[in-house]
Structure 1
Amino acid sequence: MQNVILKFEQLLNENAIYFPTIDNAVLEVKKPGKWSKKEILGHLVDSAIHNLVRFTEINYLEKPYHHRPYSQIDLVNLNQYQTMDINELVQLWLSLNKQIIRIFKNVNEKALDYKIIMIDQSVIDLKFLMTDYVEHLEYHINQIKS
């Protein structure tokens, strides 16, 4: 998990500085049926909120933990990330993810094997969920940077 945490920290540190330097016109460009770069960052905020709850709850709720999905499109629209100031949006994203890093750094090794039942009834473990979270983060960061 140490490599995952290091990658996570690097993604946050590099992009918390970089994102506010992107011209607002570039951040707000929308194509039909697609999110703007600002909305992608908003989606990462929503992902952080929901995963922070998951990474926390799995430690004290009955096992196996049941993964609850969320409506990504509705949340991006309802939270109006498109109209948010980029500095405020980056700060929100950064703060949430710093808390997730704290959880990652303090997770009990035994907890990494906790089972998670997905909505389709497939089973993953906490280690997979944590690793996948960082990969998801990197994927969307690359979309913002492209």
Structure 2
Amino acid sequence: MLPSPQSVANRINYLCDLLPDKFRLIPAEEFSFKPHPDKWSRKEILGHLLDSAANNHQRFVRGQLEDTPVIFYQQDNWVRVQAYQSANVALLISCWVSYNRHLAHVISQLTPENLKKQCRDKDGAAVTLAFLIEDYVQHLEHHLKQITDY
């Protein structure tokens, strides 16, 4: 059984309360360090989480309004063209917190009927909004643990 929208929203808000101060404790060199040219730095991971929030925002809203919209993105290209590696860390942190607080609000408003509505992934598979909100927070926590142990 998937968690309720309110419990997912509460988890996101908890992460928004907890992690910004932890992010700010990471030295700039460490935040920007790329373990391999083809791997993301912590800064790029945080940028990726902004992209994830933007795309999932589309899923959570359009999934309620449209008949199984197809919403996906090319994550590596999004990170590259937005040049997160050279972005201001304080701005990335602020944007991440703001966007996720908004998503927590959007998620908390999902009705039981709308949780059953579906979106399609890039392969055409249909998934419910209930699945997507749980998947979002799992994806978020996976990457946040790559940035900092919390």
Fold shared, TM-score > 0.5 on shorter chain: yes
Counterpart of 1:10 in structure 2 is 14
- Take 1:68 and 1:115, find their aligned partners in 2: how far apart are those partners? 11
2:142 paired residue number: 139
Tell me how far 1:74 sits from its aligned partner.
0.9
Could you say which residue in structure 2 is the equivalent of 1:121? 124
Report how many aligned residue pairs link the two structures. Answer: 144
How many Å separate the matches in 1 of 2:104 and 2:7?
12
Superposed CA RMSD in Å reads: 1.3
Aligned to 1:89: 92
Return the offset for 1:9. 1.5
Query: 1:94-141: per-residue Cα shift (whole Å, max 9, x none)?
Result: 111111111011111110010222222322100000000000000000
Counterpart pick for 1:36 among 28, 37, 41: 41
| Distance apart, 1:66 and its partner CA | 2.5
Matching residue's letter, 2:102: Q
**Deviation above 4 Å: which 4+ runs of structure 1?**
none
Question: Does the aligned pair in 1 maintain the 2:43–2:85 contact within 8 Å?
Answer: yes
TM-superposition CA deviations, 1:51-102 (whole Å, max 9, x none): 11211111222x2x12321111111111111111111110111111111111
Distance between the aligned counterparts of 1:88 and 1:37, measured in 2?
14
Distance 1:114 1:134 in 2: 18
Query: 1: CA distance between counterparts of 2:100 and 2:8?
Result: 13
Aligned to 1:22: 26
Return the TM-score normalized by structure 1: 0.92
Instruction: Write the distance in 2 (CA, Å) between the matches of 1:49 and 1:105.
Output: 17
**C-alpha distance in structure 2 between counterparts of 1:105 and 1:80, whole Å:** 32
Contact 2:44 2:85 in 1 (8 A): yes
Aligned partner letter, 1:69:
F
Once the two structures are overlaid, the 10-residue window that deviates more, 132-141 or 77-86, is 77-86
Is the contact made by 2:115 and 2:128 (CA closer than 8 Å) also made in structure 1? yes
Quote the offset at 1:32 in angstroms: 2.4
1:10, CA displacement in angstroms? 1.4
135-144 or 1-10, larger mean C-alpha shift: 1-10
**Identical aligned residues as a percent:** 32
Question: Is the partner of 2:65 in helix, strand or coil?
Answer: coil
